[in-house]
Structure 1
Amino acid sequence: MVPVGKVKIIPHLEECTPPRGELDADSLSQIALAAILENDHPLKVDAFRWAAHNLADDTLIQRDLDCTFDEPGWQKMAASGLLGLLVEPELGGAGLDLCSALLTIEGLGHGCRDDGLTFALSSQVLTMQLTLDRFGSTEQRREWLPKLIAGEAKGAFCMTEPEAGSDSYSLTTTATPVGDGTYTITGEKAWVTMGPVADLFIVFATVNPDLGRWGISTFLVPASTPGLTVGPNRPKMGMRTTPFANVTFENCLVPESARLGNEGAGASIFSAAMEAERAFLLAGAVGNLERTIDDTISYAREREQFGQPIGAFQAVAHAIADMKVAHETARTLLYKAAALQQTGSPSMMAAAVAKLAVSENALDAARSAIEVHGARGYVSEFEIERDLRNTVGGVIYGGTSAIQRNIIGRLLGLPAGER
């Protein structure tokens, strides 16, 4: 096989997968089918083993309490080529097809107990980099993608605002043309993943409010831009090791060359980014869910009550069986959506179904795990309660469960009605 990118530590990334540019639709479909059918796929297993060995961290409980990002772990992933899974080798990436990248992220989610770190990786690869790679100019891509892949810079995606959440296009952040091909950006973005550590922001702002969503444009804004202020890291219920902040722009001057795509293309860029994010950002969560099942099975075998392992009791066995069904359903829907997207087939329905099922299945399974573990599941030192906290956000970010149901209903031909 053709070697892929610079990935050296996880062997099957360079031995088993040719660059996506060399794959036809049939080959891509076969990769997706293998991803669904092979729960022990080599890419996933190698990523799991690498993460279990290289990202084990006895400070995780304290870092979770302190909301501290794992910078050393991030740099290990950079050194292994994991920060450039989807970017072509010419820019330092691995050039993987989408399903192969998701298998790798799923394996990392299974092997790494720091869900916040794998979530940050997913956000970087599947939202930040993918948007820049798809819509950036040659100059923009060459300037920033190698730095992001090498861990020399981090990126953040700025769309949501304090008063514009599910109503994504009701933006108040503006980009005002001031002549000489320059804009001034003013406004505030909220809940920015990786905001406190980001070096580059993809910012959505309204250039012409009279055009509604078609008046939105997208800009690359370095963190060093005068007038850009990043707020403090915001403690949250889960994913506490992923930094999170508001970002304020006060008359930030940006050149026309910093615009991503054409003026007015922001809504289209955001829609494409969200279709990818809602379907694939939770690939790591599928791996997290498998780890939760592993932990719960181990406990059910070891813990004894009434003279026998609790796994012998039907109520416990059924709970774990339901967790397995949830996991298999999530995996199948994830890779179905990936197969459709990477072969150019319509994937909006599949993406919404996958996002809804993966996020809600993971949440239900994490709650079941706590019930099986009892008091041990409720206290922090055994880490099961952290799995539950980390899954709650999945039904919110990338579009809430209600939004996914709205999308599904609309695509089924139901009346749109009032939002």
Structure 2
Amino acid sequence: MHFDRTTEQEAAYRDTLTAVRERFPAPIHDRFFDRKEWRTLGDLGLLGLSIPAEYGGGGLGALATAFQVEALGRGCADTGIVFAASAHLFACAMPLAGFGGEEARARFLPGLASGELIAGNAMTEDEAGSDVSRLATTATEVPGGYLLNGTKSFVTNGPVSDVFVTYATTDPRAGHLGVTGFVVARDAGGVRVGAPFEKMGLTSVPAGTVTFEDCFVPADQVLGAPGQGGAIFQHSMGWERACLFAGYVGMLDRVLDRTVEHARTRRQFGAAIGANQSVANRVVDMKLRLESARLLLYRACWEMDAGRRPTLAVALSKLAVSEAAVAGALDAVSVFGARGYLRDAGIETTLRDAVPATIFSGTSDIQRLIIARELGL
């Protein structure tokens, strides 16, 4: 099991790191990302890393993709943009690439890879988050396709999305086997997009509700076969819980670099604060959590590339990275002290952006439940 980057991958990592540092040098405050910034991500190849090359993507495997997302997270000072791009790619483009029909792939994937289009994953509902077998949104078969009815919540990119990947109940008697996936254009009749939520963190990426009212979706925009939606969603969650969180590994690297530099240069009572054991120990704990999480994430991606059943590895990775993100951000605030609480320093922004990592893509408690089941408990 080798996780070293090849010479080519190392060069790509460095190129991405340099490019995003130049283009996104500071967190975005009080606005959402704009189309120009989104196209910049597309021009850098970051919106299509794992999309097949024939549709304009990079055609990368999970581990090679994670290396690039890690570079994005380390170089980009705004974690919201990193999250928006990753949700677009892993929760939307990948299920379309893997399970969409040829016509739907040809219609949407090139624009998703280039940044011409923005995608939103419309799965979560007010009374159905982690349990995909209890979706209230329905899809009723009609000649030529389906009529969607229902409301989705917490749709990342939703208010600005051009296309949605969504899931609905087609057979309420069949539980998770009665769920079907769809790709829906925003301009389809019956799509209504809600106003952006006001959030604690990830403030540069809009999220909101999407309502379908007798929204007709042609049969060629069904993902996979009817009833396969639950499995397709779990497949996309494998990509999201592994590769998306590489962005948080990169964020932790960025924060650790800043924290070490601050501990070296900030002086109190005639000495650098890093000379104090209590400060040094916090920094060491940050490094330990980061490297442990990184290795678990790399292993999860390696198992995906190897065609293994990665459920346990992915859950361990997601749990470790998300918890490390919150703990590391808290430690950084502590080392920076009062300066860490000031908005201009950017440290408190890291903490606010880290907190939702333990909630989306399956909460930490859900990951523990998955791990327990994989252990036979």
TM, length-normalised to structure 1? 0.87
- Please list the CA deviations of residues 176-206 of structure 1 after superposition, one character each: whole Å capped at 9, or x if unmatched: 112x223111000000001011111111001
Aligned to 1:287: 250
CA distance in 1, matches of 2:60, 2:237: 20
After TM superposition, give the deviation of residue 56 of structure 1 in Å: 2.3
After TM superposition, give the deviation of residue 69 of structure 1 in Å: 1.7
CA distance in 2, matches of 1:90, 1:253: 29
After TM superposition, the structure 1 = structure 2 runs for residues 241-320 of structure 1, keeping only pairs within 5 Å, are 241-320=204-283
1:125 aligns with 2:94: no
CA distance in 2, matches of 1:34, 1:126: 23
1:49 aligns with 2:15: no
Partner AA of 1:334 in structure 2:
L
Aligned to 1:7: none
Contact 1:67–1:243, Cα closer than 8 Å, also in 2: no
After TM superposition, the structure 1 = structure 2 runs for residues 59-78 of structure 1, keeping only pairs within 5 Å, are 60=27, 63-64=28-29, 66-78=30-42
CA distance in 2, matches of 1:201, 1:243: 14
1:101 aligns with 2:70: no
CA distance in 2, matches of 1:182, 1:99: 37
After TM superposition, give the deviation of residue 337 of structure 1 in Å: 0.2
Q: 1:392 aligns with which of 355, 364, 375?
A: 355
CA distance in 1, matches of 2:32, 2:102: 35
After TM superposition, give the deviation of residue 53 of structure 1 in Å: 1.5
Partner AA of 2:226 in structure 1:
E
Q: 2:310 aligns with which of 343, 347, 359?
A: 347
Contact 1:70–1:117, Cα closer than 8 Å, also in 2: no
Aligned to 1:11: none
After TM superposition, give the deviation of residue 213 of structure 1 in Å: 1.4
CA distance in 2, matches of 1:44, 1:231: 37
1:160 aligns with 2:129: no
CA distance in 2, matches of 1:233, 1:69: 13
SS in 2 for 1:52: helix
Contact 2:132–2:176, Cα closer than 8 Å, also in 1: no
After TM superposition, give the deviation of residue 70 of structure 1 in Å: 3.9
CA distance in 2, matches of 1:141, 1:226: 21
Q: 1:187 aligns with which of 144, 147, 150?
A: 150
Partner AA of 1:123 in structure 2:
A
SS in 1 for 2:67: helix
SS in 2 for 1:229: strand
After TM superposition, give the deviation of residue 279 of structure 1 in Å: 2.0
- Please list the CA deviations of residues 10-52 of structure 1 after superposition, one character each: whole Å capped at 9, or x if unmatched: xxxxxxxxxxxxxxxxxxx65xx214x99x9433222211111
After TM superposition, the structure 1 = structure 2 runs for residues 380-419 of structure 1, keeping only pairs within 5 Å, are 380-414=343-377
Aligned to 2:298: 335
SS in 1 for 2:132: coil
CA distance in 1, matches of 2:24, 2:345: 18
CA distance in 1, matches of 2:360, 2:290: 20
SS in 2 for 1:204: strand
Q: 1:363 aligns with which of 326, 330, 350?
A: 326
After TM superposition, give the deviation of residue 96 of structure 1 in Å: 1.6
- Please list the CA deviations of residues 202-253 of structure 1 after superposition, one character each: whole Å capped at 9, or x if unmatched: 1100111111211111111110111111101111011111110110111111
SS in 1 for 2:196: coil
SS in 2 for 1:337: helix
SS in 2 for 1:399: coil
CA distance in 2, matches of 1:182, 1:153: 24
Aligned to 2:78: 114
CA distance in 2, matches of 1:168, 1:369: 36
SS in 1 for 2:134: coil
Aligned to 2:160: 197
TM, length-normalised to structure 2? 0.96
After TM superposition, give the deviation of residue 343 of structure 1 in Å: 0.9
- Please list the CA deviations of residues 38-87 of structure 1 after superposition, one character each: whole Å capped at 9, or x if unmatched: 9x943322221111112224xx4xx43x2412432211121222211112
SS in 1 for 2:360: coil
Deviates more, 1:211-220 or 1:74-83: 74-83
Deviates more, 1:73-82 or 1:373-382: 73-82
Contact 1:275–1:351, Cα closer than 8 Å, also in 2: yes
Would you say how many aligned residue pairs link Structure 1 and Structure 2?
A: 376
- Please list the CA deviations of residues 97-136 of structure 1 after superposition, one character each: whole Å capped at 9, or x if unmatched: 2211111110111111010111111112222111111111
Partner AA of 1:290 in structure 2:
D
Aligned to 2:175: 212
Q: Aligned Cα RMSD in Å?
A: 1.6
Contact 1:67–1:235, Cα closer than 8 Å, also in 2: no
Indicate the percent of aligned positions where both proteins have the same amino acid.
42
Aligned to 1:142: 106
SS in 2 for 1:86: coil
After TM superposition, give the deviation of residue 269 of structure 1 in Å: 0.7
Contact 2:246–2:297, Cα closer than 8 Å, also in 1: yes
CA distance in 2, matches of 1:296, 1:338: 28
Partner AA of 1:225 in structure 2:
A
Contact 2:62–2:243, Cα closer than 8 Å, also in 1: no
Gaps of 5+ in 2: none
Contact 1:359–1:395, Cα closer than 8 Å, also in 2: yes
Partner AA of 2:253 in structure 1:
E
Aligned to 1:326: 289
Aligned to 1:13: none
